[in-house]
Amino acid sequence: MESWGDVPILPVRTRRIIEWTAYLFILPAFIIVGAFHIFPVFYAIYISLNQGAINQFHFVGLQNYLQALTGSDFWSSLATTFIYAFMTLPVTIFLGLFFAYLLYQRVRGRGIYRTLFFLPYVISTVGSSIIWAWVFNPENGLANHLLSLAGIQPLRWLIEPSGVFGVLAAQFNWTIPSWAQGPSLALVAVSIFTVWQSMGYDVVLFLAGLTSLPGELYEAARIDGANAVQLFRFITLPLLAPTTFFVVVVSVIASLQSFNQIFAMNTAAAQTLGGPLETTNTLTVYMFNQLYTYSNYGYASALAVLLSLIILALTLLNFRLLGRRAEA
Amino acid sequence: MMNGEIVPTETLSPEQLGKKTEVVARRPPRRISGYLLHLALIAGAVWSVFPFIWMVLTSLKGYVEAAASQAILPQHWLFSNYAAAWNEVGMFPRYFANTIFISAATVLGVLVTSTLAGYAFARMSFPGRNLLFVILLATMMVPFEVTLVPNFILMRRLGWIDTYSALIIPWTASAFSIFLMRQFFRSIPGELYDAAVIDGSTHLRFLVSIVIPLSKPALITSALLTFLGSWNSLMWPLLVTNSPQLRPLQVGVATFITDAGTQVQLLLAAVTISVVPVILLYLFLQRWFIEGIATIGIRG
Amino acid sequence: MSARKWFTVTITLLLVVSVAACAPAATATPTPTGVGTSIPATGATQAPSAAPTTVSAGGAPVVINFWHGQSQSQQTALNALVAQFNATHPGIKVVATYQGTYSDLYNKVTAAVAAGSPPDLAIAYQNDVANYIKDGAVIPLNSLMSDPQIGFSSADLQDIYPAFIDHYPQFGNQVYSIAFMRSMEVMYYNMDLLKAAGFNQPPTTWTEFMNMCAAVSKPPTTYCYEMNTDASRFSNWLWSRGGSLLSPDGKTVAFNSLEGLATMNFINDLFTKKEAIVIGKAFQDQTDFSLGKIAFTFGSTAGLPFYQQSIQQAGVVKDWGIAPDPHSTPNPVVDLYGPSVTIFKTTTQRERDAFVFLKYLMGTQADSAWVEATSYFPARQSTRSSLTSFIQANPLYGQALGWVQYGKTEPTIAAWNPIRGYIADAMTAVANGKETPSQALNDAASKANQAIASQ
C-alpha cells in the first residue's frame, strides 16, 4: 500500500532489449509530423539563408542572422517577449493548479464549476478580445470602474505606452526615473487578458492529472492524520509532477510564441500590430511584421529559427531541471 | 451518470494482472473549510465567466448600445440578432457540418497516433528514442506563420488544395498530444507492466487492455483540446480551400469583420453560436471524467 | 467499452489513418530546395489549379479565378456582377472566391505565388501589389489597356478618373492595378455642438478648426476630436496644408517638411490643450460621435452607413454632416483610398481573359451597380448620371461624390506599408507627449527613408 508513491516507473534503459516494434508504434505519428511539421522547419531554415522576393531568393548565408543579432530590434523584442512570459506564465500556472485542485475536491456543482472555468479557452480570441477591449476601455470600461472604487484615477490600459510603475506613481504625483518605469501598461493589460484566457486551459490539464491520481493514498494519509496542506504538499504535488512538468514545458513554448492574444487585443483596441509605440512588440509580433508588412521572408524566417532555438534550449533546460524529478 | 461514491464501470481481471485488484472509492481531501472553498471557486468562476456573459448580453443589444452602453443588461432584448447573424452568413448549417466532421476526424486521428507514439516513448526502449522525442517536441517550437508557405506548397503538390484531406490529415498527429500521453503513461505504475510481461502480454495488448482504460482523463483531455483547436481554426482552412462548401465555422464568423465598421452585436452573436456546441460537448464529457476516476482504484 | 472493442477500434483507425496518410505523402514530398526557388514555366499544364477545372478540351469555358475579401452584402453584389459577366461571356467562367480579410487574402496570394499557382485576378492594396511586382507575379496592364480588341477606348480613358488607375513609379511608372473600390477621407462634424458654440458652418481652414475646437471642448464630457490613429489621417492633413508624402522621384519621403511639422504641431496642440482623445477600441470614434460626445471625427466615407445607423439609434445628434478636411490649399484635398484589382502572370490567353473581366468591372453598367450596392465611388465620371435616384436617397454620398475630382492617392511603393506604421507611431508619440513634433517627424522620416532604400 505505501509502496504506491515510491514505485519507480520501470527505467527503460536498464532493459537491454531493443523493442523494434516501437518504430511501428511511432510510425503513423512520424509520417504525419514528418511531412507536415518537420519538413516546413527545414524549409524555414533554408529560407532563412536567403533574401529576396518569395520566388526569387538568393543565397546570403548567415547574413539574416547577423542582421538580427547585431541590430537592436531583435534584442528589444526578445526582452519584451521575456517580460510578457514572466508576467503571464507563473500566474497562469499557479492559478491553474490552484483552481484545478479546488475543483478536484468533492464540492457540490463540480461539473458546472469545471465548465465555467473552461469557458475562457472555448471562446475564440476574436470574440473575447472585443469584450476585453471593452473592459479596458479608457472612457467607461470595467477596469477603470473597479479602480475608481479604490480611488484610483482612470488609466488608459491598452493604449498606454508608458510604463506601469510610472503610471501608478503618477497617481500619487511621484515621478520615477525612466529605467524604473517598467513594462508598458498596454503590455500589462494584454498579459491580464492572456492569463484569463490560458487559465482555463491549465485547469483542464491539471484536472486530468489530478483525476488520474490514486484516491486511496489520500485515505491512508488521512488515517495517518495528515492535514489538507500536508496532503497537498507531500502527496498531491509529488504525484502530480509529470503533469506539472508537462504544463510548464508546454506553457513556456506557448508563451514565448504568443501571437494571437497580442494581435487580437491590439486589433480590438485599434492599435498598430506592435501596440502603442511598439511596446507590445514581442519576437513573434516582430517576426509577423517582417513577414507581412515588410515581406522580408528570409529575415522573418531567421527570426523564427532563432526563436525556436531559444525555446528549444529552454525546453531542454526544463527537462534537465524539472524532468529528472518528474520522471525519476 | 453517478456522482459521489463511485462504482467502477470496468475492472481488470485478477488473472490478467496476476495481482489482487480491489476497487476503492476515491476520497480526496475534504477538510479545506467548505466556505472558503466555495468562496474561492465562486470568485474564480466569476473571473472566468463574466466576459462570456457579457458577450452573450452584448449580442442581444442594438448596434449603438452594443458599441457604447455601460449598462450590463440590454435595453431591449433583441433575440432577432441571432436570426440576423444566422441569415447574414447564410451557410451556417453547412459550416457547422464541416467543422464537426473535420474536428471529429482530426480528434480520431490524434488519439490513435498519440496513444501509440506516446506509449512507445513512455514504455518502450529503442535506439534514438530521446533524439526522436526531441525532434518531435522541436516541431512545437517553430511559429506557425513561417510554416504556412511550405505547407501550402506541399498541399498543392499532393493535390489536396480544396479537399477535406488538407483540412484533416496534416493535423492528425501532434507533438503536444504525444507528449501529453507520454506523461500520463509514465505515471502508470511499473508493476502493472511487469505483471503483464510475466503474463506474456504484448505491448499492444497491454496498451489496449490496461493502459488506455486507465488513461481516460488524458485521452479525453487530449481529444478535447484537439477538438477545440480544430473548431477554432481559421487561417489554415482559408489557405487550403476555395469552395465555400468545404469551409468551416470560423470563416462564417470572420465575415462580420470589415474595414469600415463592425456590427459588434452580430459578430458576438455569431461567436456565441459557434461556441455553444463546444460547451455542450464539455458538459457531456464531464461524466467521462468521473468515469475515468473510477477505474483508477487499483492497489499495488 | 470492453478491451476487445477498444482494440478493434484502435486497429481499424490506425489502418485508416496510415493508409490515408502514407499513400500520397510518401510519393510526393518535395525537397526543400526544390520549392519556391523559381517560377514554374507558365503554360497550360502549369496553369493555376485553384479550381479543379482550368482549360478543358471540349469547348467548355475557361475558368478564371478571382480572389477577393468581400463578405456578406458586398459579396452578394459581387457575385451578381460575376454571374452577369458569365452569362454574357460564354468563353469565360469567372469564379469569385472570398479569401478572408485583406491580410488573409495577401497571405494566401503570397503562398499561392510561391507554389506557382496564383489566381488570375485578386484584390489588393497598392503596396501589396508592389510586393507582387517584386515577386514577378503580376503583369503591367499598359499593353492590355491599349489593346485594340479588348483595351479601353480613348473615350473610356477620358471617362475614368485618373485616381483610379494606379501607376507604380518604382517600377517604370507602369500601371499594375486598377481601383475597384475607392472611398474617401472626410471630416464628420456635429452641427448641434458647433451651433451651440455659435458657429453656423463647418470649418474650411485649419485656423477655423482650432477656434471651433477651443469653443466646443468641455472635457471630460465633450471633446473636439477623437483620434483614430492612422497614416491616412496624417496624409490628408499634410496634403491639405500643401505638403507631399514623397519626393517627386519616389526615392525619399518629403513629409518631414514645414507642412509635416505643422501637421504634427496640430496634433500636439489638440492633445496638450486636452481637446482630443485617442480611441480605446476599434470604431469608438463612430460611436462617441453618435452619442454627441465628439464634435469632429476624420475617417472614411465607407463608414457612412455605420454612422447613420448609430446616429439614428442613439437619437442624440440631430444635425450633422461631412465635409472635406479643412485646408490652406486653394482647393480641398481628399485622400481616395481602397484596394485595386491586379492581374497575375499566367498565360497570354488567361491574362487577356482576366483583363476582359476587369474591363467589364470598370464598365458603366457594373460601375453603377457596384456603387449602389457598396457606396464606394464610381470609377467613371459618366456613372453619376445613372445614380440620380441613389444620390437622392443618399444625399451625403452625393455631396462626397462632388469631391472625387479633388482626390489624391497614397504612394504605390512597397515600403508604404511599413511607412504607414512609422507615421502612426509618430502620431501616437506626439499625442502621448512622448516626443516633440519635430523629433517624432524626423524619426519617422529617417526610418521611412531606410525602408525605401532597403526595398
- Taking only the tens place, the pLDDT of each residue in B238-258 is 999 999 999 999 999 989 888
pLDDT at C66 over 80: yes
Which one-letter DSSP state was computed for residue B32?
S
Alpha helix positions (H), A152-215: 164-171, 185-211
Contact B89, B267 (CB under 8 A): no
C-alpha to C-alpha distances, B200 to A10, A178, C5, nearest whole angstrom: 17, 70, 21
Q: Is A228 on the interface with B (CB under 8 A)?
A: yes
pLDDT digit string, tens, across residues A161-182: 999 999 989 888 888 888 889 9
Which of C433, C432, C450, C453 is CA-nearest to residue C442? C450
Residue with cell 522580408: A296
pLDDT digit string, tens, across residues B59-105: 999 888 888 767 788 988 999 999 999 998 888 999 999 999 999 99
Question: Lowest-pLDDT range, B35-39, C313-317, C341-345?
Answer: B35-39
* Contact: A46, C32; criterion CB under 8 Å: yes
Averaged pLDDT for residues C84-90: 96
Q: C36 falls in which pLDDT band (50, 70, 90)? A: very low
* Cα distance between residue C225 and residue B262, in whole Å: 21
Chain C positions touching A27 (Cβ under 8 A) are 18
CATH of domain B90-255: 1.10.3720.10
Strand partners, C223: C294
Instruction: For residue A74, give how far its alpha carbon lies from the nearest alpha carbon of chain C (Å).
Output: 16
C-alpha to C-alpha distances, C122 to A238, C67, C113, nearest whole angstrom: 58, 5, 12
Instruction: For residue B133, give how far its alpha carbon lies from the nearest alpha carbon of chain A (Å).
Output: 10
Instruction: For residue A278, give how far its alpha carbon lies from the nearest alpha carbon of chain C (Å).
Output: 8
Q: Nearest by CB to B64, which of C97, C98, C313? A: C313
Q: Nearest by CB to C283, which of B169, B204, B261? A: B261
Which of C227, C223, C224, C263 is CA-nearest to residue C243? C263
pLDDT digit string, tens, across residues B109-128: 999 999 999 999 998 889 99
**HEC per residue, A19-40:** CCHHHHHHHHHHHHHHHHHHHH
Provide the chain B residues 150-209 that lie in CB contact (below 8 A) with chain C. Answer: 150, 152-154, 156-162, 165, 169, 172, 204-205, 208-209
Which of the residues in chain A have pLDDT under 70? 1-16, 324-328
Provide the chain C residues 153-192 that lie in CB contact (below 8 A) with chain B. Answer: 183
* Contact: A55, C38; criterion CB under 8 Å: yes
Which of B173, B171, B157 is CA-nearest to residue B114? B173
Q: Which domains does chain C have, with CATH numbers?
A: 62-182+338-408 (3.40.190.10), 184-336+415-454 (3.40.190.10)
Provide the chain A residues 148-187 that lie in CB contact (below 8 A) with chain B. Answer: none
Count CB pairs under 8 A between chains B and C: 144
C-alpha to C-alpha distances, B32 to A103, A106, A224, B38, B48, nearest whole angstrom: 12, 11, 17, 10, 22
Average pLDDT, chain C: 88
* Cα distance between residue C190 and residue C224, in whole Å: 10
* Cα distance between residue C380 and residue A305, in whole Å: 50
Chain C positions touching A274 (Cβ under 8 A) are 421
pLDDT of residue B11: 38
Q: Is C393 on the interface with B (CB under 8 A)?
A: no
3-state secondary structure of C166: strand
What are the DSSP calls for A225-243, one per residue?
Answer: T--HHHIIIIIIHHHTHHH
* Contact: B112, C51; criterion CB under 8 Å: no
Which region, left, alpha or beta, applies to residue B104 given φ > 0 means left and ψ of -120 to 50 means alpha? alpha
Q: Give this prediction's pTM.
A: 0.87
Contact C270, C237 (CB under 8 A): no
> Which are the contacts of C110, defined by CB distance < 8 A and separation ≥ 6?
A54, A295, B149, C131, C135
Topology of the domain covering A82-288: MetI-like fold (1.10.3720)
Q: How far from the centroid of its chain's Cα atoms is residue A178's Cα?
A: 28
Chain A positions touching C32 (Cβ under 8 A) are 39, 42-43, 45-46
| Amino acid type, C328 | S
Residue with cell 484635398: C333
* Contact: C24, B67; criterion CB under 8 Å: no
How many degrees, rounded to 5, is the angle at CA C191 between CA C187 and CA C194?
100
pLDDT digit string, tens, across residues C221-272: 999 999 999 999 999 999 999 999 999 888 999 999 999 999 999 999 999 9
Chain C neighbours, 3+ Cβ pairs < 8 A: A, B
pLDDT at C44 over 60: no
Which one-letter DSSP state was computed for residue A9?
P
Q: How far from the centroid of its chain's Cα atoms is residue B257's Cα?
A: 26
pLDDT at C15 over 60: no
Chain B positions touching A270 (Cβ under 8 A) are none
Residue of B nearest to C104 (CA): B235
* Cα distance between residue B108 and residue C14, in whole Å: 9
Strand partners, C97: C67
pLDDT of residue C290: 94
pLDDT at C88 over 80: yes
Omega before residue C148 within 30° of 0, cis: no
| Location of each CATH 1.10.3720.10 domain in chain A | 82-288
pLDDT of residue C35: 34
C-alpha to C-alpha distances, B7 to A103, A210, B89, B142, B233, nearest whole angstrom: 20, 19, 47, 45, 39
Count CB pairs under 8 A between chains A and B: 332
Provide the chain B residues 104-123 that lie in CB contact (below 8 A) with chain C. Answer: 108-109, 111-113, 115-116
Q: Is A229 exposed, middle or buried (0-12, 13-18, 19+ CB in 10 A)?
A: exposed
Contact C59, C28 (CB under 8 A): no
pLDDT digit string, tens, across residues C361-380: 999 999 999 999 999 999 99
Chain C positions touching B67 (Cβ under 8 A) are 283-284, 286-287, 310
pLDDT at C277 over 70: yes
Domain spans in chain B, listed from the N-terminal domain onward:
90-255
pLDDT at C400 over 60: yes
Share of residues in chain C with pLDDT > 70 (%):
87
* Contact: A277, C434; criterion CB under 8 Å: yes
Q: Nearest by CB to B271, which of A107, A127, A301? A: A127
